[in-house]
Amino acid sequence: MPHAEPTEPAERTERTGPTEPTERPERLQRTERATRTARFTLDPDFTVGPVDPRLFGSFVEHLGRCVYTGIHEPGHPAADEDGLRTDVLELVRELGVTAVRYPGGNFVSGYRWEDGVGPVEQRPRRLDAAWRSTETNRFGLSEFMAFLRKIGPRAEPVMALNLGTRGIEEAMDLVEYANHPGGTELSDRRIAHGDANPFGIRLWCLGNEMDGTWQTGQKTAAEYGRLAAQAARALRQIDPGLELVVCGSSARDLPTFAAWEATVLEETYEVVDHVSLHAYYEEQDGDRDSFLASAVHMEAFIREVIATCDHVGARLKSPKRLTLSFDEWNVWYQRRPNPHPVEDWQEAPRLLEDVYTVTDAVVLGTLLITLLRHADRIAVACLAQLVNVIAPIMTEPGGPAWRQTVFHPFAQAARHGHGTVLDVRVDAPTYPTPKYGDVPLLHATAVRGEDGTVTVFAVNRDQRAELPLEVALRGLDVSRVVEHTALADADPEARNTLDAPDRVVPHAVEGAGVADGRLRAVLEPMSWNVIRLA
C-alpha cells in the first residue's frame, strides 16, 4: 500500500507571526531547495488500481436549499420545463459528477417515498423531523431521475432506502416501482405517473447512519445488521444484480466504530457489496496545520474499515472482498452557529450554507487524493453535498449560481482523474501538527489515462514556503508538461461569493518541465496542484 516516507527533518523556513494577506510566497535558496525537495517515482508496473468512475459522486439531500431553490426552482429565469435550474445543471456538468446519492442523509430515515411520486398538486406536505423543516414533496423520485438524465449519461443514481422508520416491505415496494418494467400494481403506477421506462436503479443504500443517536429510528448494530441482511435478501429476490451498500459507522470517532462494522458485517457480509463511510473535517481552534493534515485521519479510517471487512471475511472463510462507499465526505463547519435566521418548520431554510475558503479547497484536494490512493477498494464516493448545503455550488433564489473554492479541485480531479492510479510513495520533509504528529508536506497521487497521459495531483501543506517537487518517470511514455495549475492564494481566507464569484480560481504555473526522465515543479505555499504530462 502507498505510504509516506518522511526524510530527515528539513530546515524550515517559516516566518514567525501571522501571515499577512498580501505576503509573497517564500522563495527558497538553492541549498535549501535540495534538502526540502519532495520526491516520488512513477512506474506503470506499480499501480493501485483502476478508478471506479463513481469515485466522483455527489449527494442531493432534502435538506435546506439543496433541492428547493438549489437544483429545483420553477419560475426562476433559468428554470426548464421540469423546474430544474439550467444554470445549476451546467455547473453540475462542469463539476464532472458521476453519481448522485439521494434523498438523504438523515432526511431519508423518516421519508415515505410514495409522497414524492404522482401528480405534484396531490403530494402531501410533511414534517421533516431530521431537519425540523416542512417538506412540500414538490420534488421526488421522477424529478430526481429527470435531473440525473440532464446531467448526462454518466451520472448514476445512488438511492438511499429508509430503514429508520420503515422496513423491508417499503424497500421492496420502491424497487418494484422504480425498476420493474410493468404489469404489477407498483410498476403500472410509475407508468401512470408518466415514467413509462423503468429507472433501472442499480445502487441502493440500506439506510443512513443507523448508528447515530440523531438518526430517526436509530438501531443497535445487532438490530440493524439483522434488518439490513433481511432487506438485502428480499431486494435480491427481486433483482440479484442490485448493488447494495450497508451502513458503516457515521464517524470514525464514535465509540462504537469498528465494533459496529464487525457486528453488522457478520450478518450482512455475503449479501452486500459495499460498506459506507462518512467523514467531515473542519479547522478547529485556529489549528490550520492539523486541518491541512485531515487526510491522515481519512487514510486511517479507510485502512481500518478495510481491515475490519477483511477480518470478517476471513472469519467467515469467504473469498469475497467488500469494497467501500465513502458516500459522505467534505469539509463542514459543524461547530459554527448558523449566520442565517431560521425558524422551525420553515420550507427550504438556509441550513449548512458554509462559505469555503481557499484553505478548505486545499484540504478538499488532500481528501480527493486520499480517495484516489485507495482506488483499489473504494467503489463509490460522494461529496456531501451538491448545491447550497456544504456544497461546491451556491445559488440565490431568483438569482445567479456560482462556484465555491472547493468546486475547482473536485472538477479538476473528476476531469483528469479517470484511468489507473499509480502507486505513489512520497519521500518528503515533514511538519509538526498538534493532532497528527509529523506529517509529510506533500500529499500526492497520479493517474494514468487510457491514452497514456499522466496527471499528478499534489498538495503542498506548507502554509508559508514553496515545496520543490521531483518525480522520476520510469517506463512512462511522457516527455512534456501539458499544464501545471495551482489553486492557492496569499490570503488563506480568500473565498468566492455572490459579489466576487471568481475570486479564487486555478491559475497557470510556469516553470514545470520534464528533463532526464524527471518531472520538476515548484508547488506554491498551501496549494492544490494539477500537473498534466503527455
> DSSP E strands: which ranges in 413-489?
420-422, 430-433, 437-440, 442-448, 454-460, 467-473, 481-487
Nearer to ligand AHR, 243 or 328 (CB): 328
Task: Cell numbers for 352, please give them.
Answer: 449548512
Which range, of 82-90, 99-107, 373-381, 397-405, touches ligand AHR by CB under 6 A? Answer: 99-107
Nearer to ligand AHR, 61 or 273 (CB): 61
Residue with cell 433559468: 78
| Choice among 143, 328, 466, 524 that is catalytic | 328
d(CA 18, CA 14) in angstroms, rounded, equals: 11
**What sign results for the dihedral spanned by CA atoms 344, 345, 347, 348?**
positive
d(CA 494, CA 282) in angstroms, rounded, equals: 16
Note whether 249 binds ligand AHR by CB under 6 A: no
Nearer to ligand AHR, 274 or 532 (CB): 274
Task: Cell numbers for 132, please give them.
Answer: 425540523
Task: Give catalytic status of residue 32 as yes or no.
Answer: no
Note whether 349 binds ligand AHR by CB under 6 A: no
Compute the least distance from the CB of residue 340 to ligand AHR, in Å. 16
Note whether 328 binds ligand AHR by CB under 6 A: yes
Find all residues with CB under 8 Å of 294, minimum gap 6, and list them. Answer: 281, 363, 366, 367
Specify whether the CB–CB gap between 453 and 528 falls below 8 A: no
Which range, of 39-47, 104-112, 341-349, 499-507, touches ligand AHR by CB under 6 A? Answer: 104-112
d(CA 462, CA 16) in angstroms, rounded, equals: 14
Nearer to ligand AHR, 76 or 252 (CB): 252
Task: Give catalytic status of residue 243 as yes or no.
Answer: no
d(CA 345, CA 131) in angstroms, rounded, equals: 8
Q: Indicate which single residue of 384, 421, 442, 465 sits in contact with ligand AHR (rule: CB under 6 A).
A: 384
Nearer to ligand AHR, 162 or 385 (CB): 385
> DSSP E strands: which ranges in 312-453?
323-331, 346-347, 378-384, 393-395, 401-403, 420-422, 430-433, 437-440, 442-448
Compute the least distance from the CB of residue 87 to ligand AHR, in Å. 23
Nearer to ligand AHR, 172 or 355 (CB): 355
Residues 203-242 that bind ligand AHR (CB under 6 A): 208-209
Nearer to ligand AHR, 384 or 444 (CB): 384
Cis? peptide before 385, omega within 30° of 0:
yes
Find all residues with CB under 8 Å of 145, minimum gap 6, and list them. Answer: 157, 195, 199
**Contact pattern for ligand AHR over residues 127 through 166, marking x by CB under 6 A:** ----------------------------------------
| Choice among 73, 135, 143, 209 that is catalytic | 209
Compute the least distance from the CB of residue 250 to ligand AHR, in Å. 6
Q: Closest by alpha carbon to 325, among 131, 54, 66? A: 54
Note whether 61 binds ligand AHR by CB under 6 A: yes
Note whether 327 binds ligand AHR by CB under 6 A: no
Nearer to ligand AHR, 389 or 486 (CB): 389
Strand partners, 401: 395
Count of residues in contact with ligand AHR, rule CB under 6 A: 11
Note whether 265 binds ligand AHR by CB under 6 A: no
Q: Indicate which single residue of 37, 58, 106, 370 sits in contact with ligand AHR (rule: CB under 6 A).
A: 106
d(CA 391, CA 198) in angstroms, rounded, equals: 30
Residue with cell 482523474: 417
Which range, of 101-109, 236-244, 423-431, 495-503, touches ligand AHR by CB under 6 A? Answer: 101-109
Note whether 385 binds ligand AHR by CB under 6 A: yes
Q: Indicate which single residue of 6, 83, 103, 104 sits in contact with ligand AHR (rule: CB under 6 A).
A: 104
Find all residues with CB under 8 Å of 93, minimum gap 6, and list them. Answer: 151, 152
Question: Residue numbers of the site for ligand AHR (CB under 6 A)?
Answer: 61, 63, 104-106, 208-209, 250, 328, 384-385
So which residues are the catalytic ones?
209, 328
